[in-house]
Amino acid sequence: MKVRINIRKTIRLRDRKMGREAAVGMAHYGVVPLIELDPRQGQKERLGTLLHELLHIVFPDLDEEQTILCEQQIASVLWNDRWRRIEADIEEIPVKKTIKPTKPTTQS
Ligand SMILES: [Zn+2]
């Protein structure tokens, strides 16, 4: 059996509070696929949701049960390897200052 893989150069991500959909994530197919994530999830749940929606886009032939199994397997390994979301904006991450080497002082 050949597995269909849908590789895209760009997959957009967007945070959106979901209520009516009774979901915490949604995948929208298209030339540039879009994944929407409810920002009110905890880190571990968000990781699973992101993987789940990515799996729907990349492996469109998986059914919901297969998608959930893959999501749980991958999320568990990534979580146990301590992958976490960085919450701060990029501007807030302190830039590592380079320390210039000091010139050796000559003693007379
Ligand atoms: Zn699903």
| 57 DSSP assignment | H
Q: How far is the CA of 64 from the centre of ligand 1 (A)?
A: 5
Domain residues for the domain of 24 are: 12-85
How are beta strands 34-37 and 25-28 bridged, if at all? Answer: antiparallel
How many domains does the chain divide into? 1
101: left (phi over 0), alpha (psi -120 to 50) or beta: beta
- Distance CA(83)–CA(75), nearest Å, equals 9
> Using alpha carbons only, how large is the chain's radius of gyration in Å?
21
Q: Is residue 2 one of the residues assigned to a domain?
A: no
50 Cα: distance to centroid of ligand 1 (angstroms): 11
Percent of the chain with pLDDT over 90: 69
For residue 53, the CA-to-ligand 1 centroid distance in Å is 7
91 Cα to the center of ligand 1, angstroms: 34
Q: Which two tokens stand for residue 83?
A: 């992958």
Q: Taking residues 53-77, report their average pLDDT.
A: 97
Instruction: Read off the pTM.
Output: 0.79
Domain annotation covers residue 102: no
**16 Cβ contact list (under 8 Å, min separation 6):** 36, 37, 38, 39
- Ligand 1 centroid to 20 CA: how many Å? 16
Of 3-17, 65-79, 88-102, give the lowest mean pLDDT range. 88-102
Contact 34, 28 (CB under 8 A): yes
User: What integer pLDDT is reported at residue 19 of this predicted model?
Assistant: 87
pLDDT of residue 80: 98
φ, ψ for residue 51 (rounded to 5)?
-60, -45
